[in-house]
């Protein structure tokens, strides 16, 4: 969720134009608390809805996790070991990092975005 917020900041989008989506509802207690405290809108998206999006970005996960569900992927940012078998316009895979948020912090700094308390 934090990686999604950071990416949306980099893209300079609002929650109305850049959806933070997931295939299943948020259920972990710590994630539910984060959603409530930070007022994060997470939309549950069905595989059929993917065609409605102009671009698809994945953070903290790679396309192999969703076999046959994604029509295309434009951007992948992840800290897990790189998986093959997909094409994306932009990838930033750094398995030597402890979290995807750390990678996105570098991207936020690179484009000189002030990191708000909410994003932090």
CA–CA distance, 42 with 40 (Å, rounded to integer): 6
pLDDT digits (tens, 9 = 90+) for 29-60: 999 999 999 999 999 999 899 889 989 999 99
Phi-psi region of 74 (alpha: psi -120 to 50; beta: other; left: phi over 0): alpha
Predicted TM-score (pTM) of the model is 0.90
What was the pLDDT predicted at 14?
A: 64
pLDDT digits (tens, 9 = 90+) for 67-110: 888 878 999 999 999 999 999 999 999 999 999 999 999 999 99
Residue 61 pLDDT exceeds 90: yes
* Domain boundaries of the chain, sorted by first residue: 2-15+47-110
Q: What is the biggest distance separating any 2 CA atoms in the chain, rounded to whole angstroms?
A: 38
Q: Residue 22's closest CA among 52, 59, 51?
A: 59
């Amino acid at each position: 969720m934090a990686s999604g917020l950071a990416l949306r900041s980099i893209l300079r989008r609002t929650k109305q134009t850049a959806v933070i989506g997931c295939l299943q509802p948020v259920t972990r207690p710590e994630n539910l608390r984060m959603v409530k405290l930070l007022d994060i809108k997470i939309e549950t998206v069905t595989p059929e809805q993917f065609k409605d999006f102009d671009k698809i970005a994945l953070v903290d996960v790679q396309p192999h996790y969703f076999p046959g569900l994604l029509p295309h992927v434009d951007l992948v940012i992840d800290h897990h070991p790189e998986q093959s078998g997909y094409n994306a316009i932009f990838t930033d895979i750094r398995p030597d990092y402890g979290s995807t948020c750390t990678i996105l912090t570098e991207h936020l700094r690179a484009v000189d975005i002030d990191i708000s308390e909410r994003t932090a």
